[in-house]
Amino acid sequence: MKVLIQFEKKPLLFQDPEFIISCVDPSSFIACFKDIENALKAGYYLAGFLSYEAGYYFEEKLRENKIYDFPLIYFGAYRKPLRYEICSTPKYFQNNLENVQLNITQDDYSSNIQTIRDYIAQGEVYQITYCIKLMFKFYGDSFSLYNFLLKEQAVPYPAYIETDQFRILSCSPEMFIKKESTHAITKPMKGTWRRGDNMISDIAARLQFQYDFKNRAENVMIADLLRNDLGRVGRGIEAPKLFEVAKYKTLFQMTSTVTGQLDRDISMYELFASLFPSGSVTGAPKIRAMQIIKELEREERKIYTGAIGYITPDRDLFFNIPIRTLLIREGIGEMGIGGGIVWDSTPQGEWDEGMLKAKFLTDMS
């Protein structure tokens, strides 16, 4: 198992683990967290991921008695990471993506958006992050594809994972949580806007986006949810920055920052049970949103909207939220596409936003 974490341009390479901590059977879920604690006490670094579906097993109402074909938890235990030197990507890249297609028709998508709006009208939820998937065939070197995608659209929280069974290529712009000693920071992302075609229209688009009522309402709703989740295990919870706009190749995205103080030695189970999955990928209120997601989405999200990162023996940690993330297994690839649905969302508007988010990959096909 190899894990390359390149968060905030400080790349760390974890390779040749001493052992793997993994879980596909929920009956061993708690035991995995005990193994994580024991590994940290023994001085190991842990690097890997939690799938979105791991979030079901922090909440009794969501648990299912089933065996998964993709891990809920997957961490390698390492003596220490290596400082990874970023090499320039070769100019030539062999495009080996074929048969790129969605797992849903636009008519069925529109019907599901209307169902979500009905739930909102009934007062059951305020927002749902609803996801669909791009499916494709891939032949070639997955690490070359990862580097090519990063070169085409740089992001602050990329990661690459390689095992005997699968490859994960995460070109994520979103932080889940960073903990250093007792200080914790999370940056929920919610809100997307198309960039302009030239410098003037780009400036205008950014300003329109920053003050757009719908996007600000979506963003502050999730920031409030993260303040509540972090407050379950922390203190001194603040939101020092709201409605920050980040610029990417084809789009703008809106983030807010939530901070707090945690016990230095907080258990990993307690921390993840409070925060995972992030409210930015579920909606609010979280548990009801996750129930509706399970009802409407056609397949498991797997790595998409879970968490990828590492934990140090000192219990510092850093995780992204794997959006813009490809999962490749035996030549078959998938990538989730999601958006926050609120009362004034329209099926066509949400569809267009999803296609914009996927453009960095669909432009290759």
- Residue 153, SS3 per DSSP: coil
**What does the angle CA 153 – CA 196 – CA 326 come to, to the nearest 5 degrees?**
25
- By C-alpha distance, which of 321, 20, 309, 12 is closest to 164? 20
- Angle at which helix 268-275 crosses helix 29-41, to 10 degrees, equals 130
Q: Where are the alpha helices (DSSP H) in the chain?
A: 29-41, 106-121, 142-152, 199-210, 213-231, 268-275, 286-296, 347-362
The Cα 142–Cα 162 span in angstroms is 9
Which amino acid does the sequence have at 178?
K
Residue 283's alpha-carbon distances to 132, 142, 268, 279, in angstroms, are 15, 32, 23, 6
**What does the angle CA 1 – CA 22 – CA 164 come to, to the nearest 5 degrees?**
30
Catalytic position from the list 53, 174, 297, 334: 174
Q: For residue 27, which phi and psi values (nearest 5 degrees)?
A: -65, -20
Residue whose entry in the numeric block shows the structure tokens 């580097």: 147
Cis geometry, peptide bond prior to residue 285 (ω within 30 degrees of 0): yes
Catalytic position from the list 179, 187, 190, 302: 190
Is 180 considered catalytic here?
no
- Residue 219 CB: number of other CB atoms within 10 A? 24
**What does the angle CA 211 – CA 216 – CA 219 come to, to the nearest 5 degrees?**
145
Terminal alpha carbon distance of the chain: 29
Output the CA torsion sign for 170, 173, 179, 180.
positive
- Can you read off the two tokens belonging to residue 236? 């001194």
The Cα 273–Cα 62 span in angstroms is 13
Cis geometry, peptide bond prior to residue 26 (ω within 30 degrees of 0): no
Q: Do 308 and 319 contact (CB within 8 A), yes or no?
A: yes
Is 41 considered catalytic here?
no
- Would you name the residues annotated as active-site residues? 174, 190
